[in-house]
C-alpha cells in the first residue's frame, strides 16, 4: 500500500493512546438534541455514511420519546439496507478461568476463592466441541482468562484441537478468540492457527473509572489494553472486535469511546473493527462495583440503535447476558450476530442432566437467555430472520480491507443472504426437528421468491438441491 505524507503522519500513531476523555466529554456536554438536526443525522446514516463523534453525541442526548423512536426506526431501516434479515449465530466456549487480574465486575478475579479454577484438558475440550457440533454449531468464540498458562502457544494449540474435531456431519468452520492482549510476536503465533476475529474489550474508555474497577494484574494497564488491537494489526490480524462493558461508566461516554476506537483503526490501518460488542453488567460471583451507572432497559435498547447508526458497516454482537425479551427487541435495531444455546460454565456443554442450569461458581457472570440453539433458530425463522452459520468471507479472503471493499458499498448482501440460506439448509437437514425443518424451508421458499429471476437465483436453487442430497459446505 502506498501512503501519502498525510497517511504517513497517521501511521506514526500506531500503538499510541488515542482516547482523550476531555474531548469526548466536551462532545457530550456541547451536544444539542435539536429535532431537525437529529433527523438530519439519521438521514446521513441512512445514506450509509459513518457519523462523526459530534453527531453521535447529539443522538445520545435525545430524550424526547418521539425522537428516540425515530432513532430506533432509522436503525431498523439501516439494518435492512446493509445486512438484510440474516442473523449470524455462534457459541462461546470457555477454555479456562485461571486469571491474575482483579476486576471488580468479574467472577474470575484472582481474589475470588469461591470460584472453581478449571482449565479444560484436551479430552474435555474435545467433548465440549462434539456437544456443540451435535447441536448444529459451526462458529465458536474461545474465551480464556488472563494467565501465564494461556499464552499464545496454548491458545494456538486449543484452536487446532477445535478445528480437528468432527462429529457426524458436524464441524467447526470458524474459531474466534476472546483473550488477553498479546505482544506482536504472540499475535503472530495465534494468527498462524487460522483464527477468525480476535476480540479485546476495553470495558470502559474512561481511564479514571478503568483504574477504579481494575484493581490489580496486567489488565490494570489502561494503555496496554487500549493499544492491543494495534499490535494485532501489526502482526497481520486484520479482523478484530472491540467492545465496552456498559454499566461501569456513563453509557454515552463509552459509545463515543467505541466510535473513537473505530475511527483510530480506520485512520491508521484502513480498516475498522469487524464487530462491536456491548455487554451489560450482570450478576457475577463477588460482584463489587459502583452501581450508579447501571444501564436501564430503555437506555440499553436506544444505545444499540445509536451504535447502529453511528457505524453502519460494523457488525454488532448481542449476547445471552440479556434476557430473551430484550434480545428479541434489540434484534430489530441492527444486531447482526447473536449467540445461541449458550452455556458459559466450564465443561457445561457436555452436561447430560439439567444442561440449562447455571453454577455461578463455574461462570464468569450470569447469563439470562438459556434457550437451546434450536429454540432460538425456531423463533428467528418465525420472525422471518435467516439464521446463518456462514464463514465464507474468511475462507474467500474477504477480511480486513478486502471486507471493507465489499461491505462499505453495501454489496456484502450479495454474498451474505445466499450463504445464510445455504447454511440454514444444512442445519435443517442435519439437526432440526421436523417442525423447525418445515418452517425453515418455507422461509427459504419465501426468500427465493423475493429474488429476481437471474442466473444467481438458479445457481442458489441448484446448490440447495445439492445440500438436500448430502453435499456440505457450499458457499459463495
Confidence of residue 453 (pLDDT cuts 50, 70, 90): confident
Domain-located, residue 442: no
Residue 252 contacts residue 57 (beta carbons within 8 Å): yes
Domain-located, residue 418: no
Q: What's phi and psi for 182, nearest 5 deg? A: -120, 170
Cβ partners under 8 Å of residue 346, min gap 6:
94, 96, 97, 116, 118, 120, 362, 363
In this prediction, residue 96 carries a pLDDT of 97
Domain-located, residue 31: no
**What digits encode the pLDDT tens for the residues 399-419?**
665 565 556 555 566 778 899
3-state secondary structure of 296: coil
**What digits encode the pLDDT tens for the residues 20-37?**
999 999 999 999 999 999
Domain-located, residue 297: yes
pTM of the predicted model as reported, rounded to 2 decimal places: 0.92
For 237-263, give one letter per residue: b (16+ CB within 10 A) or e: bbbbbbbbbbbbbbbbbbbbbbbbbbb
In this prediction, residue 2 carries a pLDDT of 36
The C-alpha atoms of residue 219 and residue 329 are separated, in whole angstroms, by 33
Q: Quote the distance between the C-alpha of residue 428 and its chain's center.
A: 24
**Quick check: 286 pLDDT over 80?**
no
CATH code: domain of residue 217: 3.20.20.70
Domain-located, residue 246: yes
Closest among 210, 194, 336, 339 to 273, alpha carbons compared: 336
The region of weakest confidence among 13-17, 110-114, 336-340, 357-361 is 357-361
What total number of domains does the chain contain? 1
The C-alpha atoms of residue 402 and residue 393 are separated, in whole angstroms, by 9
As a whole number, the mean pLDDT across the chain is: 91
Domain-located, residue 32: no
Domain-located, residue 447: no
Closest among 62, 23, 49 to 260, alpha carbons compared: 23
The C-alpha atoms of residue 56 and residue 354 are separated, in whole angstroms, by 44
Hey, what long-range contacts does 174-178 have (CB within 8 A, 24 or more apart)? 174/138, 174/139, 174/140, 174/391, 174/394, 175/140, 175/141, 175/142, 176/90, 176/139, 176/140, 176/141, 176/142, 176/241, 177/141, 177/142, 177/144, 178/92, 178/141, 178/142, 178/143, 178/144
Domain-located, residue 475: no
Q: Check residues 287 and 339 and name the one with the higher pLDDT.
A: 339
In this prediction, residue 338 carries a pLDDT of 97
In this prediction, residue 399 carries a pLDDT of 65
Q: Which domain holds residue 245?
A: 79-371+391-404
Q: Concatenate the DSSP letters of all residues of 431-443 into one string.
A: T--HHHHHHHHHH
Amino acid at each position: 500500500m502506498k501512503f501519502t505524507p498525510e497517511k504517513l503522519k497517521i501511521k506514526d500513531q500506531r500503538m499510541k493512546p488515542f482516547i482523550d476523555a476531555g474531548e469526548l466529554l466536551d462532545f457530550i456536554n456541547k451536544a444539542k438534541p435539536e429535532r431537525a438536526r437529529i433527523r438530519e443525522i439519521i438521514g446521513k446514516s441512512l445514506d450509509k455514511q459513518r457519523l462523526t463523534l459530534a453527531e453521535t453525541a447529539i443522538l445520545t442526548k435525545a430524550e424526547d420519546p418521539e425522537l428516540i423512536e425515530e432513532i430506533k426506526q432509522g436503525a431498523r431501516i439501516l439494518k435492512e439496507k446493509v445486512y438484510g434479515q440474516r442473523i449470524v449465530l455462534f457459541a462461546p466456549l470457555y477454555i479456562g478461568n485461571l486469571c491474575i487480574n482483579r476486576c471488580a465486575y468479574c467472577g474470575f478475579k484472582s481474589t475470588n476463592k469461591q470460584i472453581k479454577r478449571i482449565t479444560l484438558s484436551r479430552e474435555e475440550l474435545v467433548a465440549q466441541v462434539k456437544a456443540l457440533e451435535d447441536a448444529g454449531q459451526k462458529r465458536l468464540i474461545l474465551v480464556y482468562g488472563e494467565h501465564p498458562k494461556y499464552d499464545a502457544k496454548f491458545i494456538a494449540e486449543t484452536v487446532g484441537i477445535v478445528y480437528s474435531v468432527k462429529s457426524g456431519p458436524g464441524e467447526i468452520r470458524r474459531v474466534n478468540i476472546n483473550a488477553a492482549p498479546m505482544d506482536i510476536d504472540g499475535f503472530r503465533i495465534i494468527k498462524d492457527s487460522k483464527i477468525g476475529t480476535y476480540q479485546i474489550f476495553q470495558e470502559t474508555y474512561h481511564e479514571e473509572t478503568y483504574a477504579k474497577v481494575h484493581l490489580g494484574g496486567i489488565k490494570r494497564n489502561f494503555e496496554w489494553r487500549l493499544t492491543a488491537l494495534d499490535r494485532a494489526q501489526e502482526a497481520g490480524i486484520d479482523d478484530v472486535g472491540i467492545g465496552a462493558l456498559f454499566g461501569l461508566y456513563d453509557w454515552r461516554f463509552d459509545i463515543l469511546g467505541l466510535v473513537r476506537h473505530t475511527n483510530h483503526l480506520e485512520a491508521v490501518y484502513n480498516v475498522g473493527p469487524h464487530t462491536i460488542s456491548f455487554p451489560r453488567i450482570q450478576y457475577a460471583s463477588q460482584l463489587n462495583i459502583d452501581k450508579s451507572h447501571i444501564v436501564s432497559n430503555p437506555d440499553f435498547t436506544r444505545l444499540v440503535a445509536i451504535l447502529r447508526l453511528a457505524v453502519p458497516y460494523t457488525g454488532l454482537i448481542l449476547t445471552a447476558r440479556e434476557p430473551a425479551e430484550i434480545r428479541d427487541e434489540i434484534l430489530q435495531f441492527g444486531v447482526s450476530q447473536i449467540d445461541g444455546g449458550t452455556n458459559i460454565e466450564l465443561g457445561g456443554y457436555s452436561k447430560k442432566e439439567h444442561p440449562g442450569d447455571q453454577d455461578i461458581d463455574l461462570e464468569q457472570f450470569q447469563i439470562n437467555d438459556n434457550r437451546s440453539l434450536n429454540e432460538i433458530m425456531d423463533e428467528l425463522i418465525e420472525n422471518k430472520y435467516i439464521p446463518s452459520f456462514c464463514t465464507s468471507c474468511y475462507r474467500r479472503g474477504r477480511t480486513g480491507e478486502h471486507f471493507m471493499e465489499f461491505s462499505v458499498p453495501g454489496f456484502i448482501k450479495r454474498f451474505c443472504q445466499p450463504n445464510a440460506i445455504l447454511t440454514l439448509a444444512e442445519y435443517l437437514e442435519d439437526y432440526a426437528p421436523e417442525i423447525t425443518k418445515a418452517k425453515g424451508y418455507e422461509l427459504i421458499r419465501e426468500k427465493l421468491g423475493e429474488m429476481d429471476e437471474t442466473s444467481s437465483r438458479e445457481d442458489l436453487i441448484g446448490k440447495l438441491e445439492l445440500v438436500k442430497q448430502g453435499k456440505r459446505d457450499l458457499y459463495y
